[in-house]
Chains A and B, each alone.
Chain A
Amino acid sequence: MKKKLLSLLLCTSMLATLAAGCGSKTKEADKPKEGEPTTLTMWLPPLDEDTEGNFKKLLAGWEKENNCTVEMEIIPWGSYEERWSTGVAGGETPDIGYMYVEMYPTYISSGLVTDLSDMVEEEDYKEYLFLDRGEMMGGLYGVPIVTGVPFVLYYNQDILDSIGEKAPETWEDFARICEKATKDTDGDGKIDQYGYAVGLNSGSMSNLYVLNSYMYSLLWQAGGDIYTDDLKEVAFNGKAGVEALEFFKSLQPYMPENAMSLSGQDAFSTVFAEGKAAFGVTRSSASNETTFAKDYPNLKNWDYVTSLKHKEYGTFGAADCLSVMSTSKQPELALDLIKYITGPEFMTEYHKVAPGAPLTASEEYVGDPKMERIVTEDRDKWRPLQAGPCGSEILENYAAHIQAVMEGKQDVKAALDESASYANDLLKEYYAENE
C-alpha cells in the first residue's frame, strides 16, 4: 500500500517539479558595440507560401554586409493580432513589425512605434513611391511593403458589348449598365445575368471585407470619409455617406438574389467570374491576367476600371507597412533593413516569386501589362484608410449596419445615424481618457 502510494506521490511531485521549472531567461540585448555581430527580429504575416524561406534567401547579402542576423517569425493571419498583443504584454516586441492600418492607432498612442519623420531624407520620398502612405496620426510610422493592389471594379466586356455599352466612368453609367445587364438570357423566366456581383456575407473573411470591396469606394467617390479630418467624430453619416449607401441600396435589384448569403469572394468567383454578371469587385493583383486565365476559364473577355467618378475618384487600397518598434535598440539599422527590403534590389527578386507593384522608382514593373495602370496613371485614384482611434469597432459596427440596410431591416439614414452615434460615443470616451 505504502509503496503504491509512494509511486503515486512520485508522479505528483514530478508534476510539481515541472511546475516549479526554471526561472525565466529574459535576454536583454544591450546596445551592441561597434563591429560586434547583432540580431534584428522581425514579425511578418505569410506574404507567400514560404515567406521565411524566400526572405532569408534574399537577405543573406545584407546580413553579411551589416554583420547582423535577421530572425524572422511568420505569424499566421488567423491569430496575427493575438500574437502581437500577448507578445507585447509579455515584453517581447520585435525590432521590426508588419502592421496594417487598423493596428496602428493603439500601438502609436501606446508609444510603441517609432516616428520615422526625422530619420528619412527628402530623396527617400522620391525613391520610395508610397512612403507618403505610411504617414498617419501626425507622423511617419511605417514604410509600405504591400500596396499597389487596390480593390477595383472588373467588368465583363462581352456582356457590355451585348448591350452596347462601354466601360463606365460615372455612377450614372454604372447604374444604367447594371440595369440593362440584369436579365433572363435563356428565356426560362428567371434572371440569370446580373449587373453587379455583390456578396455581403462576411464569413470566412474579415467583417470589414464588405467595406473594403463595396463601401469605401462609394463613400469616397461621393466625397465623404469615415472620420472627420480631426478624427474627433465620424463623418460617414453625413450627406455623402447617405448618398453612397442609398446608391448602393438602389443597385440591389441588379445583384444576385442571394447576395446576402454569398461571401464577397464567392460572389466574385462564382457569379462574376462565371460570366453571369457585368461587374464584380475584388482585390486586384499584378498577376490577374495569368491567374484569371487559369482559375476562371469562363471569364474570357474582361477589363477593369480602377475607380468610378462621382464627385471624386476613390477606391480602397491597403498600404501595409513595416515599422520600427520603439523598443528596438538599433532603430537606424532596423530602418536600414526596412529600406533594403522595400528597396529595388530585394523587391525586384521577391516580386518574381510573389508578384506585386514596384515599391521604388528604380524597381521595374514585372506584373501583367493590363494591371500596370493601377500604379501609374491611376495611382491617385486609390488610397488606404484613415488611421483613427477605435477603428475596428467603429468599422465593424458600420459594416453590420450596412448589412441591416441591405436586408431591409433599417432605412439608410436611421442605420447610419445609429452607427455614427455608437462610434461617436466610443470616440468621446477615447478622447476623455487620452487627453
Chain B
Amino acid sequence: MKKKKGLSVLAPYLYIAPIAMILLTFVAGSLILAIYFSFTKYNIITPAQFNGLFNYQRLFRDSKLHLCIINTLKIAAIIVPFEIVSSTLFAILISSRKDTVLGKIAKAALFVPVLSSSAVIGTVWNTILNGGHPAVKAIFGVFGIDPTLLLGSSKTAFIAVAFIIVWKGMGYYMVITLASLTSISDTFYEAAKVDGATKWDCLTKITLPLLKPTIIMNIFLSTISAMQVFDMVYTMTGGGPSMSTTTLSMYAYQLTFKGNKAGYAMAVSNVLMLIVLIIVLFQQRFIKHENSEI
C-alpha cells in the first residue's frame, strides 16, 4: 500500500521524464557548453582559451551589435502582431467554412508557404517585387509604393522582409488555432443561438475567449521565432542594404563561421536569449494582468 502511494507520487514525474531527459541532454547540455564558451576565446577549430569577461565587455562597445538588436526588434515588432491577427482571422474564416470545398482548399493552400523552403519563397518574392510587372506595379501603386525599390532601401527593406515572413508563417499559427477551434464544442454555439446571439456575439463572447490560451501560445511562439529570424532575410537581402536587415541570429552566425569568433558569438546569443526572455516575461505579466494563464 505504502509502495503504491510512493509510486503514484512519482507517476507525474515519470510522465515528464522522457521529454525532460531529451531536453536536459541536448538543450541544457549544449546551453551549458555555450555559456562556458562565451567566457572563452574560441574559433571552433582550435581549443577554447578562457578569457574571462572579455566577450561581455565587447558587447557594450560593439556598435554593429547594437544595430542588429534594433533591426531584430523592428522586424519582430511587425511580424508578431500581423502573424497573430492574420492567422486567427483565417482560422475563424476557414473554420466557418470547414465543410465547403473552399474551406478545405484554403486550409491546404495556406499551409503551402509554411512547407516551402525559404529559398523558393525568396526567389518567388524577389521575382514578384523586382520583376516590374505592370499588374504588380499597379497594385502597389494604389499605396503609392514602387515595388522594385522596396528591397533596396534601408527604410523599407526590413518592412518588406517582415511582411513576407508573416505571409510564410501565418499558415503555421492558423493550423494551431484551427486545431483548437475544432475542439470547441458546437453545443456552445447552439445554446447561444437559442438565446438569440448574433454571429458577432458568438465570435467575441465564445470563440475568442475560448481561443485565448491558444492565441497566447501563438504570441509566445511567434515572438520567439520572430526574434530568431534568419533564413528568409538571408535569401531576400543578405542582411543589407548597408546592414539594415542584419538580425541578431545572422550576426551570431557570421561571427561563428565567418569571423572565427565563436566565443563572442555565444555571448551574443546569450544576449539574444536574454532579450527574448525579457519580452516574453513582459508579455506574460501583461497578459496575466488581463487575468489569464499561459
Contacts and interface: CB of A to CB of B under 8 A. Distances in A.
Q: Are A and B genuine complex partners?
A: yes
Interface residues of B, number: 50
Interface string B88-132: 000000000000000000000000000000010011001001111
Interface stretch (B41-49, B176-184, B201-209): B41-49
Interface in A255-273: 257-263, 266, 270
A266 B43 CA distance: 35
Contacts of A12: 14, 17-18, 21
A110 B46 contact: yes
Interface in B149-171: 149-154
Interface stretch (B3-11, B222-230, B279-287): B3-11
A390 interface: yes
A355 to B, nearest CB: 25
B235 A1 contact: no
A258 B152 contact: yes
A263 B127 CA distance: 11
A167 to B, nearest CB: 29
A400 interface: yes
Nearest to B119: A204
Nearest to B156: A261
A86 B33 CA distance: 14
B240 interface: yes
A407 B45 contact: no
B21 A407 contact: no
B7 A261 contact: no
Contact of A106 (B21, B43, B132, B149): B43
A64 B242 CA distance: 53
A8 interface: yes
Nearest to B131: A270
Nearest to B41: A433
A400 B242 contact: yes
A9 B45 CA distance: 41
A375 to B, nearest CB: 30
A380 B235 CA distance: 34
B25 A400 contact: no
Contacts of A407: 152-154, 241-242
B22 interface: yes
A399 B150 CA distance: 20
Contact of B148 (A200, A261, A393): A261
B8 A1 contact: yes
Contact of A202 (B153, B238, B262): B238
A81 B258 contact: yes
Given A1-B4, A203-B122, A260 B22 contact: no
- Which 3 interchain pairs have the tightest Cβ spacing? A260-B152, A202-B238, A261-B152
Given A1-B4, A88-B44, A433-B41, 7 more contacts: A106-B260, A107-B45, A204-B122, A207-B239, A261-B149, A397-B64, A409-B154
